[in-house]
Chains A and B, each alone.
Chain A
Amino acid sequence: MGRFWLGATGVFMAGLLFTGAVDNEFYFFSGYVILQGLIMATAWNILGGFTGYVNFGSAGFFAVGAYISVALHQALALPLPFLILASGMVCGLMGLATGYLTLRLKGIYFAISTLAMAIVLETVITNWEYVGGASGAYILTPKDSLFFASYVELLFMVMLIIAIAAVAFARYLSTSRTGKGLTAIRDDELAAECMGVPTLRLKLVSATAMGVFMGMAGAPFPFFITFVDPLSAFSLFIAVNAIAMPLIGGTKVWYGPVIGALILGLTQEITTVTISSELNLLIVGVVLIGFITLAPGGIVGLVQDFSRKRLRSKAAPSAGGDR
């Protein structure tokens, strides 16, 4: 078992201990929100960071995941794990289908098409009466919370498991051959194509993975807030966070979104308590602008630059390059 899985197991055990030791539900609400951000950031980064296809509509998959969950809960009263799997599957297929339609576009055109797609999704959901349409749907919190003290503790642990799965997948992907192909697409798609990298197929894999984890992140959401309407599921706050977190952490490595999610998520939770919840979006905006202008590589990029500079100053001053 590698260091990563030891760490993941450690995080999981710490989560379990946390639910056993702490009674104050606030921490689990906060933890849930941060983990939700972490999963979405990781999912966004697979397409936006690894592959270089910046996507403004991916949070739409989150909302669809939430609504698949509502619909299946109403229709069949399936237990939560099935809802999560179903949302993941549906959103994965949607990622594949929309990817097929949009991934031939490049740069800003792709970005705009994804934005349009999110609006279409919102319109569809708003007019879907079965799941409450524009007026929203109430979800009763299930009574049974297994061996946890409250249902939100259960949800917290569920999100922790999805988060570990998402991060493990992103990590696996980035080291795999497919991941190298994705990096090649990000760096120079035409050159990648000339080298025999099956670019469209890899982009579709990337879009599908993004959809799966976005959907999974959304599935428990209705149980978490107990009342879901299009406004909350498609909220700007959630969508912006999913993009801001990887950009702040660093988009080129799997742990970038994790770092970004933890830092931004914690900051937001702290300001919600100490200052005001209205300030959150403002904070995201300011921090994001700061990072885009001053540290486009995110925190990971900053650290790498710093250590590279130190390495260079340590090495004996050479006679200069020959380029």
Chain B
Amino acid sequence: MTSSIIRMSKGPILENRIVIDDIVAGYGPVQVLRGVSVHVEPGETVVLLGSNGNGKSTLINAIMGIVRPTAGSIILERDGQRIDLIGKAPEEIVGLGIAMVPEGRRLFPALTVEENLMLGAYRKDARAKITENLEFCLEAFPALRERYKQIAGNMSGGEQQMIAFARALMSAPSILLIDEPSVGLAPILVNRMIAKIAELKTHRNLTILMAEQNFNQAIKIADRGYIIVHGEIAFEGRNTEELKNNELIKQYYLGV
């Protein structure tokens, strides 16, 4: 899959890689991640599988700087540079080219579509390319162009998910973290959303780490994946075949 990537970005192509090594994280006394190691290579789509409460969101929040791990390391390798993400504020991490589509979308409901998108480009480097990125987002999601001046909170679930994606893309990221894009969407919309992610990835040369419960959908676009159970990596599938044939998947997702 990776060989067919069309490189569209105009600036220097960034080879970004995230290497998470043995992190421990949680909330207060509750330990959610107990020594998780995950790596995402440039241009890959990696999926984190697992049911609720196993630590998928915590892992994504830890990369984003929202949850601070108590042990282990999260390294962003960016054009040969090694940057430790632990201890960095979320705004700095956004500045390093990592963006997040949060679980449940988390839009700014009182603001218009336009204002939501503009907030996605809050960082200085993102503002420089704001017209270009905006044009791209509105082309990718034509429905948003029609509803550009509408209040985001009044829009349908599918449209809100589009805004969440577009807002994340407004910071011109090279790595996109997606937390459960299928939550609260009708099955047909999940289908479209997954196809859209694949399309965006190709056009934007994105590296994607996606947490998802919907195995059958996630596997359509994943290059490989991890299964998290109780805050530990229970299985690492080096390709989709390995994931499909894994016992845990059969047990949790396919009901075999």
A198-B107 contact in complex given A190-B102, A323-B156, C-beta closer than 8 Å: no
CA–CA, A137 and B230, complex, Å: 66
CA–CA, A252 and B107, complex, Å: 17
Of all chain B residues, the one with the shortest Cβ separation from A322 is B156
Chain B residues, CB < 8 A from A181: 119, 122
B180 CB → nearest A CB, Å: 14
**Total chain B interface residues with beta-carbon distance under 8 A:** 29
B32 lies within 8 A of chain A by Cβ: no
Selected interface stretch from B14-22, B90-98, B199-207, B210-218: B90-98
Chain A residues, CB < 8 A from B122: 177, 181, 195-197
CA–CA, A321 and B156, complex, Å: 9
From B95, B99, B119, B171, contact of A192 by CB (8 A): B119
B108 lies within 8 A of chain A by Cβ: yes
CA–CA, A197 and B110, complex, Å: 17
From A180, A187, A196, A321, contact of B90 by CB (8 A): A196
Interface string of A149-167 (1 = CB under 8 A from B): 0000000000000000000
Contact A196 B171 (CB under 8 A): yes
B33 lies within 8 A of chain A by Cβ: no
Chain A residues, CB < 8 A from B94: 194-196
B126 lies within 8 A of chain A by Cβ: yes
B106 lies within 8 A of chain A by Cβ: yes
A183 lies within 8 A of chain B by Cβ: yes
B111 lies within 8 A of chain A by Cβ: yes
CA–CA, A234 and B219, complex, Å: 63
Q: Give the dominant DSSP class at A's interface.
A: helix
B120 lies within 8 A of chain A by Cβ: yes
From A180, A186, A195, A322, contact of B167 by CB (8 A): A195
B118 lies within 8 A of chain A by Cβ: yes
Contact A184 B108 (CB under 8 A): yes
A188 lies within 8 A of chain B by Cβ: yes
**Total chain A interface residues with beta-carbon distance under 8 A:** 22
CA–CA, A194 and B157, complex, Å: 20
CA–CA, A14 and B104, complex, Å: 52
A183-B108 contact in complex given A193-B91, A195-B167, C-beta closer than 8 Å: yes
Of all chain B residues, the one with the shortest Cβ separation from A188 is B106
Contact B66 A195 (CB under 8 A): no
Contact A252 B64 (CB under 8 A): no
A54 CB → nearest B CB, Å: 16
From B64, B108, B168, contact of A187 by CB (8 A): B108
Contact B64 A196 (CB under 8 A): no
B53 lies within 8 A of chain A by Cβ: no
From B100, B126, B155, contact of A194 by CB (8 A): B100
Contact B120 A183 (CB under 8 A): no
B115 lies within 8 A of chain A by Cβ: yes
CA–CA, A288 and B179, complex, Å: 41
Chain B residues, CB < 8 A from A252: 110
CA–CA, A322 and B94, complex, Å: 35
CA–CA, A225 and B228, complex, Å: 68
A191 lies within 8 A of chain B by Cβ: yes
Chain B residues, CB < 8 A from A177: 122
Contact A194 B119 (CB under 8 A): no
From A184, A190, A198, A323, contact of B119 by CB (8 A): A184
Q: A180-B119, A194-B90, A194-B94 are in contact. List 10 more A-B contacts (CB 8 A).
A: A186-B110, A187-B107, A187-B111, A191-B102, A193-B90, A193-B91, A195-B171, A196-B95, A198-B89, A199-B91
Which 9 residue pairs are nearest across A and B when measured between Cβ atoms? A196-B94, A191-B106, A187-B108, A323-B156, A196-B123, A193-B90, A196-B91, A198-B91, A194-B100
